[in-house]
């Protein structure tokens, strides 16, 4: 890997190049559910009229997902933005490994299944949906079938309810599908396959970035110890919890434990094996550490059961989390941050806790740490531990302050930042809060426009995927789906919509213009765009820059 070559006629702007990623702010249809269109966004509107403006693909094949029916997400979006090329992502790698059978031929699967004694249990833990962001139910069903074919008699499934990457109250659909599969297995011989526990993904088990370890502790108590509110089955649990809290969505449901004859059916004990079937890393790392590490300080696990644990993928290769995994993760190399580091460009990455790992770990190709301690600064602003709809402005103001300080003090050549608002608040389904979240981001962008003007830098404003742009479900006919009362059905998941890209060069020294080639390009073209705006020549294997120097 060699330093980047300098552009023959443009040495870069006087000020920094600032890349702003408005998480979850896509380009919708402008209908009643499009909170991006409904929000007051004078600064984004100004950029649309006064900057280079285009649209980018941020889903499906353009970000390494199995098909164009798959929505993008923050992990794959930041991978693609930082890598400058498209790599096959976890969803596709796992799908292919299951389809070919390679996942069952590996050492890890055979260690887990081969160690099970007569009374031991094989446990599967993960997000129960077909969102294909963190997991896919088809992968779970395939592994359950394989376990049965290998003669494994006792299996327990610990279900995390979604309501975020799929419909907000769709959990019973997936439970029914799973229960049907388990019943079929149980009817074909001396098998005992059952759901053991569950709860909403934002209440137990799926914390990230060390933001809320009590979530992990609640998950540990539920899945491992079998402690929590008891029910006869998952359907009863979900229906009861919903009735007690009208309007609650699946991601926020509290924990439940399934019992028979008054006893939990599936605590995790010595001699068992456990597979975490989520393939996305950020919300899998903490629970993996809790199973894998001899000592943790975040909470008291009690006696650590002697089990064999594996992730369906390795979620952090640098830290080897987890130690045992079924499918190798994407091998992303030669990313934007590394090229800039060896080319002598100073960098700043900033966001709040909810997306800090996206502008660092995921942006750097799933790599922990910096490429250069001397030239890189990473700033994490601690997120509030409050429901996002209660504070839709989140930490956008503080993120903007950090960027402005860097611009004023001429600290960095390249700044990348993520405003999480459109995504994190978008997942709540609260329309007013989502509208406010988009307007908050717009205010931050307005402050950056003025700073970039003063510094003669270049501002790139874009998104990693859509969310706030489509808050109601839309049918294939393009019309809003209605519920039994005639109201639009709420949508809390990401979208298949393109995302905006604005490139603003107030000084005009680069004489930037839209480049030719594929239209629209994908978000992977942003890395070459950053290099071009810095006066560097992108590597030949990078996806083409969105702009070229005049």
Distances (CA, A) of 505 to 357, 501, 521: 28, 13, 20
**Cβ atoms < 10 Å from Cβ of 418:** 29
Contact criterion met (CB below 8 Å) for 195 and 180: no
> Element (H or E) spanning 445, and its range?
helix 431-455
∠ CA 398-404-407, nearest 5°, is 150
Closest CA to 23 of 523, 391, 533: 523
Return the number of other C-beta atoms located less than 10 Å from residue 36's C-beta: 32
CB 309 within 8 A of CB 292: yes
* CA separation for the pair 409, 487 (Å, rounded): 52
3-state secondary structure labels for all residues of 383-405: CCCCCHHHCCCCCHHHHHHHHHH
Give the C-alpha separation, 112 to 325, whole Å. 10
Pick the catalytic residue: 67, 74, 343, 437?
Answer: 74
- Distance between CA atoms of residues 525 and 493, nearest Å: 25
Cβ neighbours around 259 below 10 Å, total:
16
Task: Give the span between the Cα atoms of 28 and 317, in whole angstroms.
Answer: 37
Secondary structure of residue 7 in the 3-state scheme: coil
Q: Which helix (H) or strand (E) holds 199?
A: strand 192-200
Rounded to whole angstroms, the Cα distance separating 336 from 350 reads: 16
Cα first-last separation, the chain: 28
Taking alpha carbons only, the member of 499, 420, 408 closest to residue 448 is 408
Is 100 assigned a catalytic role? Answer: no
Which of 276, 298, 222 has its CA nearest to residue 254?
Answer: 222
DSSP notation for 357-380: HIIIIITTTS--S-S-TTTEEEEE
In contact, 492 and 427? CB cutoff 8 Å? yes
- Rounded to whole angstroms, how far apart are CA atoms 539 and 188? 57
Determine the 3-state secondary structure of 475 from DSSP. Answer: coil
Cα–Cα separations (whole angstroms), residue 203 to 219, 245, 400: 8, 14, 30
Reading the block at residue 376, the tokens are: 């890189």
Q: Catalytic site residues?
A: 74
């Amino acid at each position: 890997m060699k330093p980047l070559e300098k552009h023959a006629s443009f040495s870069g702007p006087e000020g920094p190049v600032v890349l702003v990623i408005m998480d979850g702010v896509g380009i919708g249809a402008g209908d009643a559910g499009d909170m991006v269109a409904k929000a007051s966004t004078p600064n984004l509107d100004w950029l649309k009229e006064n900057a280079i403006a285009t649209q980018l693909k941020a889903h499906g094949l353009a970000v390494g997902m199995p098909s164009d029916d798959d929505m993008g997400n923050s992990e794959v979006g930041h991978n693609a933005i930082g890598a400058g090329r498209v790599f096959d992502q976890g969803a596709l790698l796992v799908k292919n490994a299951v389809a070919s059978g390679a996942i069952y031929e590996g050492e890890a699967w055979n260690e887990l299944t081969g160690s099970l004694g007569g009374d031991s249990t094989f446990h599967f833990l993960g997000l129960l949906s077909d969102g294909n962001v963190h997991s896919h139910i088809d992968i779970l069903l395939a592994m359950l079938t394989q376990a049965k074919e290998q003669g494994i008699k006792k299996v327990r499934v610990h279900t995390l309810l979604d309501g975020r990457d799929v419909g907000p109250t769709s959990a019973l659909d997936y439970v029914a599908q799973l229960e049907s599969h388990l019943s079929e297995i149980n009817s074909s011989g001396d098998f005992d396959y059952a759901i053991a526990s569950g709860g909403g993904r934002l209440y137990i088990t799926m914390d990230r970035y060390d933001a809320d370890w009590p979530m992990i502790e609640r998950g540990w108590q539920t899945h491992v110890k079998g402690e929590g509110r008891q029910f006869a089955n998952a359907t009863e649990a979900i229906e009861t919890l919903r009735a007690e809290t009208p309007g609650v969505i699946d991601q926020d449901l509290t924990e439940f434990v399934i019992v028979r004859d008054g006893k939990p059916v599936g605590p995790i004990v010595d001699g068992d094996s456990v597979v975490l079937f989520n393939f996305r890393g950020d919300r899998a790392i903490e629970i993996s550490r809790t199973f894998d590490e001899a000592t943790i300080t975040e909470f008291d696990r009690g006696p650590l059961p002697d089990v064999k644990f594996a992730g369906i993928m390795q979620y952090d290769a640098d830290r080897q989390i987890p130690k045992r995994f079924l499918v190798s993760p994407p091998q992303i190399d030669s990313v934007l941050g590394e090229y800039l580091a060896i080319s002598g460009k100073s960098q700043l990455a900033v966001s709040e806790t909810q997306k800090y790992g996206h502008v660092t770990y995921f942006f750097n190709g799933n790599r922990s740490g910096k490429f250069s301690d001397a030239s890189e600064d990473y700033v994490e602003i601690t997120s509030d531990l409050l429901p996002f709809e209660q504070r839709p402005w989140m930490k956008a103001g503080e993120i903007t302050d950090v960027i402005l300080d860097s611009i004023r003090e001429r600290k960095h050549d390249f700044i990348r930042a993520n405003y999480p608002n459109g995504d994190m608040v978008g997942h709540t389904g609260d329309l007013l809060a989502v509208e406010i979240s988009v307007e908050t981001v717009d205010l931050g962008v307005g402050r950056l426009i003025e700073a970039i003007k003063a510094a003669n830098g270049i501002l790139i404003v874009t998104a990693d995927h859509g969310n706030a742009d489509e808050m109601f479900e839309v049918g294939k006919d393009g019309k809003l789906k209605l519920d039994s009362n005639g109201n639009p059905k709420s949508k809390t998941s990401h979208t298949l919509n393109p995302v905006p890209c604005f490139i603003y060069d107030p000084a005009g020294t680069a004489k930037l213009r839209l480049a030719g080639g594929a239209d629209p390009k994908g978000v992977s073209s942003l890395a070459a765009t950053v290099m071009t705006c810095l006066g560097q020549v992108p590597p030949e294997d990078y996806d083409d820059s969105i702009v070229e120097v005049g």
